[in-house]
Amino acid sequence: MEVRVQREEFDVGAELAAHRPVGAGAGAEVHFVGNVRDLNDGDEVRVMELEHYPGMTERELERVAGEAGERWEVLDSLVIHRYGVLHPGDRIVLVSVWSPHRGDAFDACRYIIDALKTTAPFWKKETLPDGGHRWVAPGQETGEPVS
């Protein structure tokens, strides 16, 4: 399991190639890439600023990924989440799960991304076209409870 919180952009292909378990029985791999949207709640978004609590954020992401590994048969996982100033279309998160079976991989990946959206200590502020700002409540994007 690897968790990283970083300001820098990431290359999905390079990350997957570097992290992919070899010969470990990984019959399935599921990947989720989240991007900054240009629309949220009916309004255009010009910029998304993400802040986090260093140390606490990584521990929470590790806890969530570990919990997914306890609930489903997971061989390995990778979670990368960015912070700082991001623009529409920028990659913001990568969640990858490797498992012997696709059902476990899908379920664990969804669990991690949903928990990340609701429990990880990130604060998101959107800048709108008129120059105004608004904070995005945790989980506001998903509208779904974490199971």
- Mind listing the pLDDT tens digit for each residue in 112-147? 999 998 999 999 998 888 888 888 877 655 444 333
Is 146 within the bounds of a domain? no
What's the CATH number where 64 sits? 3.90.1170.40
Q: What is the per-residue pLDDT for 70?
A: 97
**Position 23 in a domain:** yes
Domain contains 15: yes
Query: What domain range includes position 49?
Result: 2-136
Crossing angle (nearest 10°) for helices 56-71 and 102-119: 150
Residue 126's φ and ψ, nearest 5 degrees, are -100, 140
In a domain, residue 141? The reply is no
User: Which contiguous run of DSSP H or E holds residue 42?
Assistant: none
Q: What is the model's pTM?
A: 0.88
pLDDT for res 126: 87
**The predicted structure's pLDDT at residue 139:** 61
Q: By C-alpha distance, which of 54, 107, 110 is closest to 83?
A: 54
**pLDDT at residue 135, as a whole number:** 86
Q: Is residue 18 part of a domain?
A: yes
Give SS3 for 73: coil
Per-residue pLDDT, 16: 95
142 in a structural domain: no
The closest of 103, 115, 104 to 146, measured between CA atoms, is 115
Q: Coil, helix or strand for 60?
A: helix
Higher pLDDT, 143 or 33: 33
145 found inside a domain:
no
Once rounded to an integer, what is the mean pLDDT over residues 35-42? Answer: 85
pLDDT single digits (tens) 60-111: 999 999 999 999 999 999 999 999 999 999 999 999 999 999 999 999 999 9
- If one counts the domains in the chain, the total is 1
Does some domain include residue 96? yes
- Between 16 and 20, where is the model more confident? 16
Residue 22 scores a pLDDT above 80: no
